Amino acid sequence: MALEPTLTINDTTTFSDAISFSVTDSLTAAAPAQALSLVNATATGAASIIVPASTAIAYLFVRHTGTTDGSTGTAQLVDVEFTTNEAVARLGAGEWLFMPIFHAGEDVGVQLQVAHASIVQCEYAYWTKG
Amino acid sequence: MATTTATVSISSSDLQPGNNLSINASSTLMKTGLTTGMELMDMGLGHLTQASGRDALHEALGTTDSANWVYICNNSTDDQQYMKIGIHETVIGNLGAGEWLWMPWNMGDVDAELNIEAEPSGTIPYEYAIFKSAPYTLPVSTPA
Is B10 inside a domain boundary?
Answer: no
List, in sequence order, every beta strand (DSSP E) within A19-115.
19-24, 27-41, 49-54, 58-67, 78-82, 87-91, 96-101, 108-114
Cα separation, A49 vs A45, in Å, equals 7
Q: Do B8 and A96 touch (CB under 8 A)?
A: yes
Using the Cα atoms of residue A21, residue B29, residue A44 and residue A81 in order, give the sign of their dihedral.
Answer: positive
Is B12 inside a domain boundary?
Answer: no
Closest CA relative to residue A87, chosen from B67, B91, B134: B91
Helix (H, G, I), strand (E, B) or coil at B17: coil
Nearest CA in chain A to B17: A1
CATH code, domain with B100: 2.60.120.10
Per-residue pLDDT tens for A10-54?
A: 998 888 889 999 999 999 999 999 999 999 999 999 999 999 999
Residue A100: which of B16, B27, B93 has the nearest Cβ? B93
- Select from A8, A14, A65, A110 the residue whose CB has the most chain B CBs within 10 Å, as the one to mutate to test that interface: A14
Q: What is the pLDDT of residue A80?
A: 97
> How far does A127 lie from chain B, in Å, by closest CA?
10
Mean pLDDT, residues B98-110 taken together: 88
Structural domain containing residue B105:
40-132
Torsion of CA B39, B102, A102, B90, to 10 degrees: 0
CATH topology of domain A28-129: Jelly Rolls (2.60.120)
Is B85 inside a domain boundary?
Answer: yes
Q: Evaluate whether A112 touches A46 at the Cβ level (below 8 Å).
A: no
Helix (H, G, I), strand (E, B) or coil at B70: strand
Is B8 inside a domain boundary?
Answer: no
Q: What is the pLDDT of residue B139?
A: 64
Per-residue pLDDT tens for B50-65?
A: 988 888 888 887 666 7
Query: How many domains does the structure of chain B reveal?
Result: 1
Mean pLDDT, residues B107-135 taken together: 88
Of A80-84, B56-60, B86-90, which gets the smallest average pLDDT? B56-60
Task: Quote the mean pLDDT of chain B.
Answer: 88
- Select from B65, B101, B115 the residue whose CB has the most chain A CBs within 10 Å, as the one to mutate to test that interface: B101
Per-residue confidence band for A77, with pLDDT thresholds at 50, 70 and 90: very high
Q: Does A3 touch chain B (CB under 8 A)?
A: yes
- Select from B1, B4, B10 the residue whose CB has the most chain A CBs within 10 Å, as the one to mutate to test that interface: B10
Helix (H, G, I), strand (E, B) or coil at A47: helix
Is B123 inside a domain boundary?
Answer: yes
Per-residue confidence band for A82, with pLDDT thresholds at 50, 70 and 90: very high
